[in-house]
Chains A and B, each alone.
Chain A
């Protein structure tokens, strides 16, 4: 009766397909009002005038906020941290500056969403326009060295340039990637509710309730005990909902001024501007190798745009720090160009995916330059130790992946010459690339309660981002407790629950899941002890049943470990 690995139905499946699962934008709340953000149609400059008279008189309108009447906010904390993560450092409706097209310039709050959106179209704005900074091929010349953000900006082992220069085979290639937008099925949405005693409750489409709580508390100047963040269901995150974006702060302050709940949901068009995206990159890869394809040097440089007010780095060149070994040295570097766009953010898979694309395209070029089979080339350059630090990898299955993949794909039947393979009328081609991904570890708390009726409750401040967290956590706890999965209830997505980590980096199961597993194990041990010794607390049948199921679970877990 192991629940893990079984094809169980989603614990929340029925709720979701019957409309019973309340996503943040669907949550019914008494006295709710709706905000519509009016955004800038120019990319750089300032607002010369904002005429809100017609909007204020439109049916249902409760208030129109601009930088003239929006309450002031505290600056975002520095340095940037996952623990109190702002999406963009420039705060909305605090001054007349325009830094990017699509920037919020007004917020209309009305009784219905339609009224708010219509009134938003009646706000008349005059701009003083300046020429915007943009990203493109010309940006290479404007690129500057950014301050450190998440990881070191540059790295080097050995002397890559010297090694490449002395190589029998050398190549240099430039690769570009375009902006990518998360475009979750559920748009970004925040609903703010103030209560005289409890303070602010923020129903937020977020992958990071505790980070949202910390950041909003700082920017709004609230004590931490006066704010709670709730995210029961998320219609997709992909990294884009891990940090706090302007609409959340606007909803919170508007609700405070109006003393009514306010919901602000972005339009699909606004999903391209005032929330994060993955920035474009221009990447240059230099490779040096022996005639047999053995790498002697790797140089990986990446340039990406960042806003005029922030210094975000898309760490594409991380790829070369860990992917392949090179005998003479590896050098990586990142540069940025300040442009009139909003701050980029993590998007699956942040950093690595873009860098792997470039590095592996260059490796493909090297395979052709040396005449070495692309799979054999990777096997030749596989590394047991991390090239950057020399330390062993926690897990690395590259060699097995390559050989197994090649076998399953009939790779040995491939002919490498372009246009040499056909399937009927169609030309076909086969290619391959290697990739690795960083494993994240974060602390996470969980609480598991076992009841005498044979049910259990799991509580953890992690998130259901669409991947099935309610179900997998139920499976984990059920196996640890020796209970059927349906006997286990799971509560997630509320900062009043034990604190967990952001649901980002494909890390929820490994971290929040581990904390729930350990909490369930501890609860089981306590229950066994109580069943053995707690004559007064529990009836005999309950004690026997508890003992039996928990001992069976214990045996199974020993098998697993």
Chain B
């Protein structure tokens, strides 16, 4: 690990100013991703600023409209266990319980969760193979390498990595918002616009700038919130990232879907909403499996699998269908 300085921030304004002025500074909350990146030399901050003591950034509150505000320093395990979260948005609690391990969830913060970096093995490789995320301009080892775990949507020749966060898929499906405070004040970023596609600058995972600090995640009340489900399929049954995952939330009447929110994880550089499928699913009967399948397939037509991950297209279809059916059973 590259040697670094550790200090603690007591107020947000100072932390934000420090981050804005020092390009070698990184915020640290739970540290469950950052420390691993530092050990693999995929991150080399000179200065770590511990933000765990910042006031007012931990905890969950119910908003007047029935939505939730989750402070960015709230631990994953606390969110997963929260009664209001489980009742109003089961998809959030379930996505968290599919993530990491009990020990990690006790440490990891919600803000850090949506900031975690890709698990692409080339990006994480301490032996430093070509990787545009790790060393911009060096090339992408995964594009023609082992890319079984990589993207089928939205990738570019510079990067085929996927975003590893399960929670992010649920938050994207629910159209949550990220509350960010920066040097010029506070702003709200729609979750579906928070992460970005690699294009020609894959080193950037999201739209945050220097000096930006995530204060909270806000999830507005959704009629589909209660009948929601998260399903993750992975190579082993625990402590593993998704091959493909799906977040589904539905509102139904008389067995027919009134509205649907559907997102996939493990398939792109960002959580991947199936908007074409969402539209096509309106009015479809939950018992009509063929109709559900063909509606989902509309969003998968644009998939561009790589040499080793062609199976993800069919898997995505099935995972989305099962998540949708399970959510439908709760409607």
* Interface, chain A (partner B; CB < 8 A): 41, 114, 117-118, 121, 269, 425
Contacts and interface: CB of A to CB of B under 8 A. Distances in A.
A425 B126 CA distance: 44
A201 B2 CA distance: 33
A117 B1 contact: yes
A269 B126 contact: yes
11 contacts: A41-B127, A41-B128, A114-B1, A117-B1, A118-B1, A118-B2, A118-B3, A121-B2, A121-B41, A269-B126, A425-B325
Interface string B1-45: 111000000000000000000000000000000000000010000
**Interface hub of B41, B126, B128, B325 (most chain A Cβ within 10 A):** B126
B293 to A, nearest CB: 14
B70 to A, nearest CB: 32
**Interface hub of B2, B41, B127, B128 (most chain A Cβ within 10 A):** B127
Nearest to B322: A425
Interface of B: 1-3, 41, 126-128, 325
Contacts of B128: 41
Nearest to B289: A425
B211 to A, nearest CB: 29
A118 B1 CA distance: 6
Nearest to A121: B41
Contacts of A117: 1
Chain A contact surface mostly: helix
A117 B41 CA distance: 12
A482 B208 CA distance: 72
Contacts of B2: 118, 121
A37 B3 CA distance: 18
Given A41-B127, A114-B1, A121-B41, 8 more contacts: A41-B128, A117-B1, A118-B1, A118-B2, A118-B3, A121-B2, A269-B126, A425-B325
A121 B3 CA distance: 11
A117 B2 CA distance: 9
A269 B2 CA distance: 17
Chain B contact surface mostly: loop
A269 B128 CA distance: 13
A425 to B, nearest CB: 8
Contacts of B127: 41
Contacts of A425: 325
A269 B124 CA distance: 11
The 9 closest A-B pairs by CB, nearest first: A41-B127, A269-B126, A118-B1, A118-B3, A117-B1, A114-B1, A121-B41, A118-B2, A425-B325
A525 B2 CA distance: 64
B323 to A, nearest CB: 13
A400 B315 CA distance: 41
B123 to A, nearest CB: 14
Contacts of A118: 1-3
A118 B4 CA distance: 11
A150 to B, nearest CB: 31
Nearest to A41: B127
A458 B20 CA distance: 65
A114 B4 CA distance: 12
Contacts of B126: 269
Contacts of B1: 114, 117-118
Contacts of B3: 118
Nearest to B3: A118
B326 to A, nearest CB: 10
Contacts of A121: 2, 41
A252 to B, nearest CB: 26
A37 B2 CA distance: 16
A425 B325 CA distance: 10
A411 B41 CA distance: 54
A464 to B, nearest CB: 25
A134 to B, nearest CB: 13
A114 B127 CA distance: 18
B149 to A, nearest CB: 16
A118 B2 CA distance: 6
Contacts of A41: 127-128
Nearest to B326: A425
A120 to B, nearest CB: 10
A121 B127 CA distance: 10
A181 to B, nearest CB: 14
Nearest to A268: B39
A187 to B, nearest CB: 14
Nearest to A102: B127
A121 B128 CA distance: 11
A4 to B, nearest CB: 34
A41 B141 CA distance: 15
A122 to B, nearest CB: 10
A114 B1 CA distance: 7
A121 B2 CA distance: 9
B48 to A, nearest CB: 15
A299 B59 CA distance: 65
A117 B127 CA distance: 14
A337 B143 CA distance: 29
A511 to B, nearest CB: 34
Contacts of A114: 1
A3 B1 CA distance: 50
A271 to B, nearest CB: 13
Contacts of B41: 121
